[in-house]
Structure 1
Amino acid sequence: MIALWDTTGQEVVKALAAERRSAGGVTSGLALTLIAVVDERHVRDTEQAAMIAAQQHPCRLIIVVRRNVLDQDSRLDAEIMVGGRLGPCEAVIMRMHGRLALHAESVALPLLAPDVPVVTWWHGDPPEKIAYDPLGVVADRRITDTAQAADPDAALKWRAEDYAPGDTDLAWTRLTPWRTTLAGAYDTADGVAADKVTIKGDRHDPSARLLGGWLQARLGVKPTYADGDGKAIASVEVTVKSGGTLSVTADDGTAVLSRTGFPDRTMPLLRQPLGEELAEELRRLDPDEPYAAALSSTTGIRGLNDRESQRVHIWHDPALAEKPEPDEPDTPPPAARKKPAKSGK
C-alpha cells in the first residue's frame, strides 16, 4: 500500500502507475471502473464488498470520501492498493477535504481504467438528483440504496423523478430471491389470472414497495399491505380468480411455498451479503427495465424507460444552502430616527 498525504491528483496518478508496474500481472484484464462515493464510516464495508465483487468482476476501485465541503481549505489524502487483501482489484481511496470535494471528478477522471465501463455506487444516503454529482454523470451505470435514506418513501419518489436508464437500486437487488421464488411458483399455476395480492411486511421498506410495484406491473393487480411483525417482507399471498391461493412465507432463511391443493414446499431464501448484491448489479450494464417498471408502478410516475440515458451535470453548491440569510441592518425604525421637536423656550 502507498499512502500520500496532502497530495495532488497528478501524484496519485503517478503512484498508481508505479504500483501497477510493481504488481505486474495482477492488474491485467480489468472489467470496469467502480467509483464508490461513501462516508468515512462506510470505507471498510465498501472495501469488503468490492473484494467480493472483484472475484467475479476484476475492477479498478475508486473510493471517494468527501469531508467538510464547506471548509475553504482543500486537501487530498490518498491510499493506493493493487492486489493484496482486495484480490484482483486496484483500489484508490481518496479523502477530499474542503472545496476540492465538490470537484472530485477533477481527480477521479484521470484514474478511470481505459476502454471499460464506469459504474458509480453511492454507499450511503443517495443523492436527491444524480446530476448534482459529476461522478454519477460520467457513469454508464449508477447504483443507489434507498434503504439507507433517512426517508425511504421520499427517496423512492426521488429515484423515480430523477430516473434515467442505467439507474438501479440495491433495495431492488435484494428482491432477487423473492422474485425468483414467486415467478417459479406462479409459473406452475397454469397461468391463472391473479385477483388479489397481499404483502405482509413494512410498507415503508423500499424493497417491500418495489416488490409490490413489480407484482403490480407483472400481474396487473395493485397489492395491499399488512403488518409483517417487524419484517421487511414476511410473506406474499396471491389469490387467483379460480378461488385458490398461492403464498410464499419467509421462515428463518427459507421460504415456505403453499398452494391450494398441493403440499407445502420449503426452499432457500437467503439474503446475500453486500458484496454479492454489488456483484449481481455489475453483471449487467444495460438498462434494468423490470426495475424501471416496478419503480414506476409503486410511485405512479410513468414513462421511465422512455427517458434519455445521458445525463448533464447540474452545478449544486451545498454552501449556498448552508449560508445563513444576511441579518437586517441594525437601524432604528423611522419614528425613532426623527429629531426631537424644539421646545420653543
Structure 2
Amino acid sequence: MIGLWDTTGNEVVKALAAERRSAGGVASGMALTLIVVVDEKRVREAEAAATIAAAAHPCRLLVVVRSDVERDRNRLDAEIVVGGRLGPCEAVVTRMYGRLALHAESVVMPLLVPDVPVVTWWHGEPPAEIATDFLGVVADRRITDAAQAADPVEALRQRARDYVPGDTDLAWTRITLWRTLVAGAFDTTEAQVTDATVVAPRTDPTAALMRGWLAARLGIDPRWQHTDQHPRMHEVQLRCANGDELTLTRDDSMAIFRRTGQEDRHLPLVRRPLGDELAEELRRLDADQVYAEALGAAAGLTGLDQRPAQRVHVWKDPAEAQRAEAGITAHSGTSGQVPA
C-alpha cells in the first residue's frame, strides 16, 4: 500500500502508474471502473463488499470519501493498493476535504481506466437527483440502495422520478431469489393469477418493488399487507383463476412454498452478503428493462425505459443553499415573517 497525505490528483495518478508497473501491468485485465461513494464511517464495509465483487469482476476500484466541505483549506489524502487487502483489483481510496469534495471529478476522471465501462455505487443515501452529481453522470451504470434512506419507500419513488436507463437499486437485487421462486412456481401450470398480496413492513423497499414487479408482469394490482412482526418481506400470496392459491413464506434462510392440493416444499432463500449483491449488479452493464417496469409500477409512473439514456450534469453548490437558508432565517428573525 502507498499512502499519500495532503497530495494532489497528479501525484495520485503518478503513484498509481508506478505501483501498477511494479505489479506487472494489472490494468490490462480490467473489465470496468467501479466508483464507490461512501461516508468515512462506512468505508471498511464498502471496501469489504467491493472486494467480493472485484473477485468476480476485475476492476479498478475508486473509493470517494467526502468530508468537511466547509473546511477553509482543501486537502486530498489517498491510499493506493494493487493486489493487496482489497483483492486482485487496483484500488485508490481518496479522502477529500474542503471545497475539493464538491469537485471529486477533478481527482476521479484521470483515474478512470480507458475504454471500459464505469459503474458508480453509492453506499449510503445518494443525491436526490443523481444528475446533479458528476459521478453519476460519468457512469454507464448507477447503483443506489433505497434501504439506506430515512424513508426507503419514498426514496424508491424519487429513484423513479429521477430514473434514466442504466440506474438500478440494491433493493431490486435483494428480491432476485424471491422472483426466481415465484416465477418457477408457474413452470408446471398456466393458471392466470387474478390477485396477489405481499406481507411486509410498510417501510420495506423490497416489498414495494415486488408489488411493482407482480403488477408489471401480471397486470394486477397486488395488495400490501403491512406487518410489524417481521423486519423484512415475509410472504407473497398469489390467487389463480382456477381457484388455486400459491404462498411463498420466508422462514429464516428457507422459504416454504405452499400450493393448493400439493405438499409443502422447502426451498433456499438465503440473504446474501452485500458483496454478492453488488457482484450481481456488475454482471450486466446495459439497462435493466424489467427493473424499470417494476420501479415504474411501484411509483405509478410509466415509460421509464423510454427515457433518454444521457444525463446532463447540473452542478449545485450546497453552500449557496445554506446561505439562502441563513438569509431567510435572518429575515424572519427581523420581521417575524418568512418571505414567500
TM-score, length of structure 1 as denominator length: 0.93
1:215-226 mapped onto 2 (5 Å cutoff): 215-226=214-225
Partner of 1:5: 5
SS of corresponding position for 2:56: coil
Residue 336 of structure 1 corresponds to which residue in structure 2? Answer: none
- Deviation per CA, 1:242-287, whole angstroms, max 9, x where unpaired? 1110010101101111000111111100011011000000000010
Aligned to 2:51: 51
1:26, distance to aligned residue in structure 2 (A): 4.1
Tell me the CA shift for residue 329 of structure 1.
Answer: 12
After TM superposition, the runs of 4+ consecutive aligned structure 1 residues lying more than 3 A away are 25-28, 326-332
Inter-partner Cα distance in structure 2 for 1:65 and 1:329: 36
- Residue 325 of structure 1 aligns with an amino acid whose one-letter code is G
Distance verdict in 2 for CA 1:321–1:194, change over 3 Å: same
Q: 1:108-144: per-residue Cα shift (whole Å, max 9, x none)?
A: 0000011110000000012100011101100000000
Unaligned runs of 5+ in 1: 333-345
Q: Distance in 2 between matches of 1:165 and 1:81?
A: 32
Which amino acid in 2 is paired with 1:232?
R
Give the direction of change, closer, same or farther, for the CA distance of 1:61–1:331 in structure 2 (3 Å limit). Answer: closer
SS at match of 2:186: helix
Partner of 2:113: 113
**1:114-263 equivalence runs, <5 A:** 114-188=114-188, 190-228=189-227, 229-263=229-263
Distance change >3 Å, CA 97–CA 331, structure 1 → 2? closer
**CA distance in 2 between partners of 1:207 and 1:330 (Å):** 44
Cα separation, 2, equivalents of 1:293 and 1:71:
43
Deviation at 1:192, TM superposition (A): 1.1
Q: Secondary structure at the match of 2:29?
A: coil
Distance 1:212 1:22, change over 3 A: same
2:287 paired residue number: 287
CA–CA distance in 2 between the matches of 1:328 and 1:167?
Answer: 41
CA contact (8 A) 1:70 1:318 kept: no
Gaps of at least 5 residues in structure 2 are 336-340
Q: What amino acid maps onto 2:246 in structure 1?
A: L
Alpha-carbon distance in structure 2 between the residues aligned to 1:176 and 1:329: 51
Q: Sort the Cα spacing of 1:331 and 1:81 in 2 relative to 1 into closer, same or farther, 3 A.
A: closer
Q: Aligned equivalents of 2:234 and 2:40: distance in 1?
A: 33
Counterpart of 1:325? 327
- Counterpart code for 2:231: K
SS in 1 for 2:65: strand
Cα deviation for residue 330 of structure 1 reads: 11
Task: Tell whether 2:306 aligns with 1:306.
Answer: yes
Residue 73 of structure 1 deviates from its aligned partner by 1.7
Contact map agreement 1:27 1:88 (CA 8 A) in 2: no
Deviations 1:131-175 (A, max 9, x none): 111011000000000010011122111100100000000010001
Give the drift of 1:331.
9.7
Deviation string for 1:63-95 (max 9, x for gaps)?
000111233321101000000122211110000
Q: Tell me the CA shift for residue 25 of structure 1.
A: 5.1
Change (3 A) 1:258 1:68: same
Q: Which residue of 1 aligns with 2:31?
A: 31
C-alpha distance in 1, partners of 2:99/2:131? 18
Moved more, 225-234 or 274-283: 225-234
Distance apart, 1:225 and its partner CA: 1.6
Query: Which protein has the larger Cα radius of gyration, Structure 1 or Structure 2?
Result: 1
> Percent of aligned positions with the same letter in both sequences?
61
Deviation at 1:234, TM superposition (A): 0.6
Report how far residue 42 of structure 1 moved.
Answer: 1.4
Which residue of structure 2 aligns with residue 342 of structure 1?
Answer: none
The one-letter code sitting in structure 2 at the alignment partner of 1:60 is R
Aligned to 2:338: none
Q: Which amino acid aligns with 2:327?
A: E
1:70 is paired with a residue whose SS is: coil
> Is the 1:3–1:79 Cα contact (8 Å) retained in structure 2?
yes
- CA 267–331 in structure 1, closer or farther in 2 if over 3 Å, else same: closer
Counterpart-to-counterpart distance in 2, 1:116 and 1:46: 22
* Counterpart code for 2:299: T
Distance 1:331 1:77, change over 3 A: closer
Does 2:266 align with 1:266?
A: yes
Report what 1:19 is aligned to.
19
Partner-residue secondary structure (3-state), 1:85: coil
For the Cα contact (< 8 Å) 1:61–1:89, is it kept in 2? yes
Q: Is the 8 A contact 1:172 1:291 kept in 2?
A: yes
1:6 and 1:197 map into 2 onto residues whose CA distance is 57
CA RMSD across the alignment: 1.6
**Code of the aligned partner of 2:291:** Y
- SS of the equivalent of 2:321 reads helix
Aligned residues: 331
Q: Tell me, in whole angstroms, the C-alpha distance in 2 between the residues paired with 1:154 and 1:40.
A: 25
- Structure 1 residue 61: deviation in Å? 0.3
1:227 Cα shift?
Answer: 3.3
